[in-house]
Amino acid sequence: MKLLFISSKHIKHATFVRQQATWLRPAGLLYEGYKPYLYNGKSIFPFPLRLNIIRIMVKNLIAPLYEQLYNNALFRFLEKNKFDVTLCHYGPQGANIIDACHRANVPVVVHFHGYDAFMHETIKKYAEAYRNMFAKASYIIAVSEDMRKQLIRLGAPADKVILRPCGVNTKLFTNAQPAMNGKTLIFVGRFTAKKDPVSLLKAFHFARQSVPDAKLVMVGKGELHQLVLKTIDELNLQNSVEILGWQKPEEVARRMQQARAYVQHSVFAPDGDSEGSPVSIVEAAGCGLPVISTRHAGIKESVIEGVTGYLVDEGDWRGMGEYMITLLNEPELAEKMGQAGRRHILENYAVEQQMGKIQEILEKARKIK
């Protein structure tokens, strides 16, 4: 199967994109939006549109002309390379490429992840384009049951929408022993509204009133970085919170293996942005850590309440803090939940299993071409 892999993000900058590109070994990679319309480092546009300044001028000044030129260039590229099927990450990118693929008779599977299904501005902007894409795409992949229902509400035919959460490398993310570790909690992800790091810090501050030697490690950064630093100062957490910035997967796994539990306070952002199925939560559970999080999106499926971790309502940072206290003070319980979480991930989220299922979807799309 000759696969074209399309994403708005370079494989270096998104775990699930890198994961799929590695496992599926596409014949072509096209970054639709990351670096405008490049194929294996080369522009699909003819000269002079391959020049950034020319392309940007046309796009900004005559958007309809640019859209036509892009679709023609993509069509010629598809015709020349004879791909069997396209896997496209994110809804807007799927909407952008669907007409050229349809014209070239290349089946398309569009993989949604979060913001693209829920963010108000995105839905408003792409409402008509999404309906066109839903009609022409072979299949739509949703990473959570909430997202599957949302895509159907937006107009996707129910029989085209397939639930497939992201997988985890269970050979890398393994070997945590919560009962043997110190009183350290860990969070991994962007400091952004939908992950609500301020509520997470409030919960941790509440927990420290009962467990003063508790520590919190935050791996990541983002647009709320300065707000996170300010909140740490306001809550006098400077000596108990460690911020590491972005780390390689191997370092993330190592840090998780040293923790007692994983914590994340995901919420619907004011602009509608939402999680899909947070990769870090699945990775932490794969390591064997109990998870404390919220009843949000795919988290409700990756965490079994009271068995592999604890969930609270969005915004309930006090409830989250109480569960932090429980696991910080009861290492054997953390170990038991972590082991149950590991089993849940092995049975339902192992990367080999998920990649095999996506491969099946792509093969099915190719056959009904």
pLDDT band at 56 (very low <50, low <70, confident <90, very high): confident
Length of the chain, in residues: 369
pTM over the 0.85 mark: yes
The whole-chain average pLDDT of the chain stands at 93
Assign a CATH topology to domain 178-348. Answer: Rossmann fold (3.40.50)
The residue written with tokens 């089993």 in the block is 343
Q: How far is CA 55 from CA 9, 35, 71, 100, in A?
A: 19, 12, 14, 19
Residue 255 has a pLDDT of 98
Q: Which two tokens stand for residue 25?
A: 């070994």
**Domain residue ranges in the chain:** 3-166+351-367, 178-348
Please say if the pLDDT value at position 35 is more than 60.
no
- In the predicted model, is pLDDT for residue 81 greater than 50? yes
Q: Is the pLDDT of residue 34 over 50?
A: no
CA 274, 276, 282, 283 torsion: positive or negative? negative
Q: What is the DSSP letter of 235?
A: T
pLDDT tens digits, 222-271: 999 999 999 999 999 999 999 999 999 999 999 999 999 999 999 999 99
CATH number of the domain located at residue range(s) 3-166+351-367 in this protein:
3.40.50.2000
